[in-house]
Amino acid sequence: MSTTIGSFIAGGIAACGAVTVTHSFETVKIRLQLQGELQAKSDAPKLYRGVFHGVRVIYQNEGMKGLLRGLSCAYIYQMTLNGCRLGFYDPIRTHVNSLVLDRDLAHASDARVKQYQSLPINIFSGATSGILGAAAGSPFFLVKTRLQSYSPFLPVGTQHKYRNAWDGLSQIYKAEGVRGLYRGVGPAMVRTGFGSSVQLPTYFLAKRRLVSWFDMPDGAPLHLLSSAASGVVVCIVMHPPDTVMSRMYNQTGNLYSGAFDCLFRTVKTEGILAVYKGFFAHLARILPHTILTLSLAEQTMKLMWRFEERALGIPDKLKVA
C-alpha cells in the first residue's frame, strides 16, 4: 500500500535511476529510427549498423557526452511520465472497479474493490495513467529527442543545434510558440498509451502467475522476472508508434502532416519493417529500464510507507493498495 503521492514520488525516483543506466541505448535507438528517413532501403546510408556498433561509433566520435545527450530532459520526463503512470494507475483502477462492481465511486477504498482484478480495467488504467504522463512531459521528450539525434560527426535526420535542454525549449517556444512545444504529442500519447496499457497489467499478471505456479516469495527475484516479462511485451507493442513519434518530434516545418501521414510514407518508402528500425536498441534500453523502474519502485515504495507511517502518521485506512 502507498498513498498516491508516495507512488508518484516512488515511480519518478525509480525511473530516474533506471534512465541513468539505459540512456545511451535510447540515443542509439533514436538515431537508428531516423537513419534513412524516407529513403529507399537501397539508397539509405548505414552510419549505425546496430546496437553495439552504434554505441561504439558514438563513443569514438563524441565520447560519453554524445551517448548521454538530453539526459537532463530524460530525468524530467521520467519523473513526470512514470510518476503519473505508477501514481495514478492504482487510484484509476480501484475507482473503475468501484464503478463496475457498485455503480458508484464511493467504495474505491474497500478491500473487496481493491482486490478485484479485471484485465480490461487494468489495461484501461495503465493506458490512461500513461497518456496523462505523456501529455504532461511531451515538451521535454521533444527536446530530448532532438538533442539525442544531433551529431556533428555522423548526422541522421534533421539536425537541431541546442546548447542544452533549456536552450532547446527556449528556441522552440520563440520560433513556434506553445504549439511547437507540443509538436508530436498525439503520437507520444498513443505510444505511451500502448506501452502503459500492457506494462503494469503484464507485470502484475506475471507476478501473480509466478507466485501461483512456482510459489515464489515476494522479493527481488520475483520483481526481476515479472519486470523482464513486462519489458519484452512493452517493446513489441510500443515500438511502431515510438518510431513515428521520434520522426514527428525531430521534423522541422511540416515534413509530415500528422502521425498517419508519417506512418504511411515511412512504410511506403522504406517498407513495413521500417517501423521496427532500432528495435533491438529499444529492447536493450527498455528491458533493463523496465526491470530497474518496477523493481526500484517496489523498494522505493516500501521506504515511502515507512516515511508516511513514522513522519506523517498516515494510517493504513487512508492508503491505496
Q: Smallest Cα–Cα separation from 296: which of 25, 8, 18?
A: 18
Neighbour tally for 115: CB within 10 Å: 10
pLDDT for res 2? 47
pLDDT in tens, the chain (321 residues): 445 566 667 667 777 888 888 899 999 999 999 999 988 887 888 899 999 999 999 999 999 999 999 999 999 998 888 778 778 888 999 999 999 998 888 888 888 988 898 889 988 998 898 899 999 999 999 999 999 999 999 999 899 999 999 999 999 999 999 999 999 899 999 998 888 788 878 988 999 999 999 999 988 888 889 888 988 999 999 999 999 999 999 987 788 988 999 999 999 999 999 999 999 999 998 888 777 776 766 666 666 566 656 665 555 544 444
Specify the pTM: 0.79
All three cell numbers of 317: 485506512
Amino acid present at 310: R
**What pLDDT does 62 receive?**
96
Any residues with CB less than 8 A from the CB of 85 and at least 6 apart, and which? 11, 126, 129, 130, 133, 196, 199, 200
